[in-house]
Amino acid sequence: MGLETPSIPRAIFKVMNNTILGVSHLKTYFFTRRGVVKAVDGIDFELKRGECLCLVGESGCGKTVTALSILGLIDSPPGRIIDGEVRYNNLDLVKCSPTQLRRIRGKEIAIIFQDAQSALNPVFTIGDQIVEQIRLHLGMKYTEARDKAMTLLKEMGIPSVERAMSYYPHQLSGGMKQRAMIAMSLSCDPQVLIADEPTTAVDVTIKAQILDIFHELKAKRQMSLIFITHDLGVVAEIGDRAVVIYGGKVVEMAPVSKIIGNPKHPYTAGLIDCLPDISKTTDRLASIPGTTPNPIELPQGCPFHPRCHKAMEICSQQQPPEVRISEGHEVSCHLYQ
């Protein structure tokens, strides 16, 4: 080790520069033939340095679209970010040039997709796909980049790395593919890592191993993580703070302990009630009645009111304001006004 950077106590560091990525009033709409899909309809959150922020919600609530919007990866047409900003290092990623954005993608902010099977290119080897990214951003020679790629794969717990480098995605198991995907996203030492349901497409044992990798990323690299999931068990295990999203809007935002222990929004409470409890025997698992609203015709007022058992008259008329319950715990619900 050469020069040692003087270690700054984390508390001071936090005061100095707390937020690494800020998303505000983000609105991403899809203009389809059947109507305007308001997939993300005014989402705000801040990712703090070194924390793991979980975006939680059912399928179709806008979690993935939020992640893709951050990096400008929305397919256009039909999608478009119509409003809001994504602040990263004094730069608004929504308005910056395609070239600036390309320099950030994969280098500063990396993303891991849900299904490594379709996210990896079937006709290139794992090695080539990782090396490509390293050489693009770090300007390394092929052999150097190859060594780096192998080190990363080894770190991710992939056995016989040399051979794995020459494998095509179809020759690896689902868990191995996901590890390769994570290795690829980490290859340029990004500041922020967005993980879009990285454990959804793998089975339970692999899920535990993948989560271990994320634990290590937090512990060793102090990685700032945006972890997208619908699984509150995963949130409890890995998250520092959670943002609960419903109908393209944030309904509750709080530290994970409060989300799990003291949920305020009826939707969050419903999600937690749905978690099966192994100590109790029940015939039926709990569920939230109804289905996620059609994003083309979101209900008036609070998008959750048709399914909410505490709904009042005002809920179908007015959008609920953001209410502060305690330090860092905010909820958008008429109940707490």
Choose between 87 and 102: whose C-beta lies nearer to other proteins: 102
Choose between 190 and 301: whose C-beta lies nearer to other proteins: 190
By CB under 8 A, tell whether 174 contacts other proteins.
Answer: no
Given 121, 222, 294, 317, the residue binding other proteins (CB under 8 A): 121
Given 85, 92, 132, 231, the residue binding other proteins (CB under 8 A): 132
d(CA 164, CA 131): 13
By CB under 8 A, tell whether 225 contacts other proteins.
Answer: no
Burial string for 261-278 (b: 16+ CB within 10 Å, else e) reads eebbbbbbbbbbeeeeee
Given 53, 55, 94, 110, the residue binding other proteins (CB under 8 A): 110
Q: How many residues does the chain have?
A: 337
Q: What is the CA radius of gyration of the chain?
A: 21
Given 119, 152, 250, 254, the residue binding other proteins (CB under 8 A): 119
Q: Hey, CA dihedral for 123, 100, 187, 206, is it positive or negative?
A: negative
Given 104, 164, 186, 195, the residue binding other proteins (CB under 8 A): 104
User: To the nearest 5 percent, what fractions of the chain are helix, strand and coil?
Assistant: 35, 25, 40
Please choose, out of 80-88, 103-111, 226-234, 301-309, the segment that lies near other proteins by the rule CB under 8 A: 103-111
d(CA 44, CA 64): 15
Given 27, 48, 103, 218, the residue binding other proteins (CB under 8 A): 103
Q: What angle do CA 240, 96, 224 make, to 5 degrees?
A: 15
Please choose, out of 100-108, 214-222, 226-234, 313-321, the segment that lies near other proteins by the rule CB under 8 A: 100-108
Least distance between other proteins and beta carbon 231 (Å): 21
β-strand partners of 31: 36
CB 50 within 8 A of CB 222: yes
Pick out residues in 30-89 that bind other proteins (CB under 8 A). 68, 71, 73, 75, 77
β-strand partners of 23: 45, 86
By CB under 8 A, tell whether 165 contacts other proteins.
Answer: no
Write down the residue that tokens 């937090």 correspond to.
218
Least distance between other proteins and beta carbon 61 (Å): 20
238: Cβ contacts below 8 Å, ≥ 6 apart: 52, 54, 211, 214, 215, 218, 227
By CB under 8 A, tell whether 106 contacts other proteins.
Answer: yes
Would you tell me how many other CB atoms lie within 10 Å of the CB of residue 316? Answer: 14
Determine the size of the site formed for other proteins (CB under 8 A): 31
Choose between 38 and 137: whose C-beta lies nearer to other proteins: 137
Write down the residue that tokens 């749905």 correspond to.
274
Least distance between other proteins and beta carbon 98 (Å): 8
Please choose, out of 31-39, 83-91, 119-127, 252-260, the segment that lies near other proteins by the rule CB under 8 A: 119-127
By CB under 8 A, tell whether 105 contacts other proteins.
Answer: yes
By CB under 8 A, tell whether 275 contacts other proteins.
Answer: no
By CB under 8 A, tell whether 137 contacts other proteins.
Answer: yes
Among 116, 265, 102, 243, which residue's Cα sits nearest to residue 179?
Answer: 116
Give the footprint of other proteins on this chain (CB under 8 A): 68, 71, 73, 75, 77, 98, 102-107, 110-111, 113, 115, 118-124, 132-133, 136-137, 166, 168, 170, 184
